[in-house]
Chain A
Amino acid sequence: MTNSTAFWYASRATGVVALVLLTAVLVIGIAINRQARVPGLPRFAVTDLHRNLSLLAVAFVGVHVLTAVLDTFVSIPALAIVIPFTSGYERFWLGLGAIAFDLIVAMIATSLVRGRMNRTAWRAMHLTAYLCWPVAFLHGLYASGDLRQGVLSDVALGCALILAGAVTWRLVSVARQRPRASRVAAELAAAERQPPAAQTGPGLRSARR
């Protein structure tokens, strides 16, 4: 096997792993946002897992783009990693990959300095994850034929379904959430229905419920 082929296979393999990791990162992020518990894991472990998996995903994405550039079978200039639609090979679908790459880099960079930046700006940047995933997914689906056949197509479909389920759950949960303005009236009504001395337990915990 030539070096070239090795790079090409490495790129394809790390790409698949990166997509799976990205899916996991998003699902865990949704769980954190909804304050759902992962059985057996303390809350800080879930936030740690989110962070570690995202760094791992970046590592795999890094190897994925590097090996794609190093491979000589198709010509992909290094600049095409960050600037979309500048490669000769599969200009559009690779371009999507570059967009996803840029978004991931921005997300990681802002998260590393999030203690020092405006919280709303950080949150807005972080929400681009929902844009990043479908862009990365389409890139994966069409930049090569891997995800459209065999086992890998099941993997791709599985990722898409799991993420769609998680996103639906998040949207439904947000829609059912009591708006802030009526929370106070609801808490007062709830307290008045129950005898006060009995409310020594957790009661209505989250400010969102």
Chain B
Amino acid sequence: MSGTRPLAQAPTAPSRPAGGSTRVLPPVPGAAEDLRAHYARNGQARCRGPALIRAVREAGLTGRGGAAFPAHVKLAAVAQAGGRKVAVANGAEGEPASAKDAALLYHAPHLVLDGLQLAAEAVGAAEAYLYTDPRHAGPVERCLAERADDIPVTLVEAPPRFLSGQETALASRVSGGLGLPTFSFARVSERGVNGAPTLVQNVETLAHLALIARHGPGWFRRKGTPAEPGTTLITINADGHQIVTEAELGTPLASLITDGAAVLIGGYHGTWLPMAAALTLTLDNQALSRHHAALGAGVLAILPHHACGLIETARVVRYLAAESAGQCGPCLNGLPRIAVAMAELAGPQPRRGTVQAVERWAGLVTGRGACHHPDGTVRLVRSALRVFGAEIRRHAEGRCSATTSHPALPLPPADALPLTDEDWQ
């Protein structure tokens, strides 16, 4: 398939995080957990159905797919709907800087599949799907064969697009169409896959749900903060490597990242922060929001001292522009222009007015697409203009902080960008 995106490397075994907070990931880094190992480690689920939804609410579990939406709200919404219902585990992970879903599906697939069964049962869904990158399909198929699930699970391959994990794109793809976002006056929980009320949960959210079903909400709240309980998987991008680790919410960032010029928090729709500021913060949205940042899908990407934040941002913004679905006029027109302007700022002596042009287009595209792709891109761009203001001045004088031309942030190769409808299947 054209456009298959290579990871920086295959999912790596998780390194042991400070404080030993592994819950969804097996405690010892190593091979994939088979069914027997899974039950040996985790035991059996004790809480099911409506009681499970209540437990999830008490536990305060929020979505781990990026939006941090309370999981019980989605569960309750679909549970209350009538008719045929669908549950989907979202493992698409279209974000190049994120590898946590891949790692989770590699190391603890049965926990995810348990979570999918429990969630599907709790909302009354008769069909379940696991939506994921084709590279994980083989191992997950083998896992499905080992199990004796009540609710049949169908594996659906996600196209290697940034927007694949977007809820409406997922619903469209699982329904058999292209993985393009759609616009509707109804939510996916009301009308999703083939028109049925659909529960969409990130694979990590389902893994935490499966553990809550075993150990209860009190146990879940023993880690993390009162407002943001539990642990979360994060991907740390540094020195050209991706490491996936599990950490308590509220962990000081300083124990996870140490050296660099700046850090991008929340992935390619996230926010840049200067390293000095980031090191004072903790891994939770309450702390991060004070700097206009958010955890997103738990992605941290470090800008090394030898790199230039403008050059890296321009590379990412070009990728984001190319990954637009091209369905909405403002996004289709605005993102390429922003990308080209950012490339000019990343080059020597950009023309006067380029920053103002970026600001104008940023304002024009925000909130005017069917999905949040333009908004997320603008968030990244604005944070870059804020944090790398000194670099902009340097470039205006013909200088640059970068001492190597080696790219720092992970991106698929240029020929992996979408060109035909097939690239969205």
Contact pick for A181, options B318, B326, B328, CB 8 Å:
B326
In the complex, B424 has a CB within 8 A of chain A:
yes
Contact pick for B340, options A179, A183, A196, CB 8 Å:
A196
In the complex, A105 has a CB within 8 A of chain B:
no
In the complex, A188 has a CB within 8 A of chain B:
yes
In the complex, B157 has a CB within 8 A of chain A:
no
Contact pick for B332, options A183, A195, A196, A200, CB 8 Å:
A183
Q: What's the nearest-Cβ distance from chain A to residue B356, in Å?
A: 9
Contact B418 A181 (CB under 8 A): yes
Contact B420 A190 (CB under 8 A): no
Contact B333 A188 (CB under 8 A): no
In the complex, A2 has a CB within 8 A of chain B:
no
In the complex, B242 has a CB within 8 A of chain A:
no
B:306-354 near A, CB below 8 Å: 318, 321-329, 332-333, 336-337, 339-341, 343-344, 351, 353-354
In the complex, A203→B361 CA distance in Å? 13
Q: Which residues of A contact B328 (CB under 8 A)?
A: 207
In the complex, A69→B343 CA distance in Å? 73
In the complex, A187→B329 CA distance in Å? 11
Write out, one digit per residue, whether chain A residues 88-129 have a CB within 8 A of any chain B CB (1) or not (0): 000000000000000000000000000000000000000000
Write out, one digit per residue, whether chain A residues 9-36 have a CB within 8 A of any chain B CB (1) or not (0): 0000000000000000000000000000
Contact B332 A181 (CB under 8 A): no
Contact B420 A179 (CB under 8 A): yes
Contact B419 A188 (CB under 8 A): no
Please tell me the number of chain A residues within 8 Å of chain B, measured between CB atoms: 21
Contact B357 A181 (CB under 8 A): no
Write out, one digit per residue, whether chain A residues 158-199 have a CB within 8 A of any chain B CB (1) or not (0): 000000000000000000000111111101101110011101
Indicate the member of A190, A195, A207 with the most B CB atoms within 10 Å: A207
In the complex, A204 has a CB within 8 A of chain B:
yes
Q: What's the nearest-Cβ distance from chain A to residue B407, in Å?
A: 18
B:356-413 near A, CB below 8 Å: 357
Considering only CB atoms, which chain A residue lies closest to B323 in the complex? A184
Please tell me the number of chain B residues within 8 Å of chain A, measured between CB atoms: 30
In the complex, A54→B75 CA distance in Å? 49
Contact pick for B326, options A180, A190, A197, A200, CB 8 Å:
A180
Indicate the member of B318, B336, B351, B354 with the most A CB atoms within 10 Å: B336
Q: Which residues of B contact A206 (CB under 8 A)?
A: 329
Contact B333 A204 (CB under 8 A): yes
Given contacts A179-B421, A185-B417, A207-B332, contact A196 B324 (CB under 8 A): no
Contact pick for A184, options B324, B329, B341, CB 8 Å:
B324
Given contacts A204-B333, A207-B327, A207-B328, contact A188 B322 (CB under 8 A): yes
Contact pick for B336, options A182, A188, A200, CB 8 Å:
A188
Q: What's the nearest-Cβ distance from chain A to residue B397, in Å?
A: 19
Contact A188 B326 (CB under 8 A): no
Q: What's the nearest-Cβ distance from chain B to residue A205, in Å?
A: 8
Given contacts A184-B326, A207-B327, contact A197 B357 (CB under 8 A): yes
Q: Which residues of B contact A207 (CB under 8 A)?
A: 326-329, 332
In the complex, A183→B353 CA distance in Å? 27
In the complex, A206→B424 CA distance in Å? 22
Given contacts A196-B344, A203-B333, contact A181 B424 (CB under 8 A): yes
In the complex, B127 has a CB within 8 A of chain A:
no
In the complex, B423 has a CB within 8 A of chain A:
yes
Given contacts A179-B421, A196-B344, contact A187 B327 (CB under 8 A): no
Contact A191 B340 (CB under 8 A): yes
Considering only CB atoms, which chain A residue lies closest to B341 in the complex? A196
Contact pick for B354, options A179, A188, A190, A196, CB 8 Å:
A196
Contact A182 B333 (CB under 8 A): no
Contact B420 A188 (CB under 8 A): no
Q: What's the nearest-Cβ distance from chain B to residue A122, in Å?
A: 15
In the complex, A180→B357 CA distance in Å? 26
Contact B326 A183 (CB under 8 A): yes
Q: Which residues of A contact B324 (CB under 8 A)?
A: 184
In the complex, A47→B351 CA distance in Å? 43
Q: What's the nearest-Cβ distance from chain A to residue B370, in Å?
A: 12
A:58-72 near B, CB below 8 Å: none
Q: What's the nearest-Cβ distance from chain A to residue B165, in Å?
A: 18
Contact pick for B337, options A180, A181, A182, A196, CB 8 Å:
A196
Considering only CB atoms, which chain A residue lies closest to B180 in the complex? A180
Given contacts A180-B327, A181-B421, A203-B333, contact A197 B353 (CB under 8 A): yes
Given contacts A191-B340, A197-B357, contact A184 B332 (CB under 8 A): yes
Contact A192 B340 (CB under 8 A): yes
Contact A199 B420 (CB under 8 A): no
Given contacts A188-B321, A196-B354, A207-B329, contact A181 B340 (CB under 8 A): no
Contact B326 A191 (CB under 8 A): no
Q: What's the nearest-Cβ distance from chain A to residue B224, in Å?
A: 40
Sorted nearest first, the 4 A-B pairs with minimum C-beta distance are A191-B336, A184-B326, A196-B340, A188-B336
User: Could you list 22 examples of A-B contacts with CB < 8 Å?
Assistant: A180-B326, A181-B326, A181-B418, A181-B419, A181-B424, A184-B323, A184-B325, A184-B336, A185-B418, A185-B419, A188-B336, A192-B336, A196-B344, A196-B354, A196-B357, A197-B341, A197-B354, A197-B357, A200-B357, A203-B333, A207-B328, A207-B332
B residues contacting A by CB (< 8 A) are 318, 321-329, 332-333, 336-337, 339-341, 343-344, 351, 353-354, 357, 417-421, 423-424
Known: A190-B336, A191-B337. 19 other contacts (CB 8 A): A180-B327, A182-B419, A184-B323, A184-B326, A185-B322, A185-B417, A185-B418, A185-B419, A188-B339, A191-B339, A191-B340, A195-B351, A196-B340, A196-B354, A197-B341, A204-B333, A206-B329, A207-B329, A207-B332
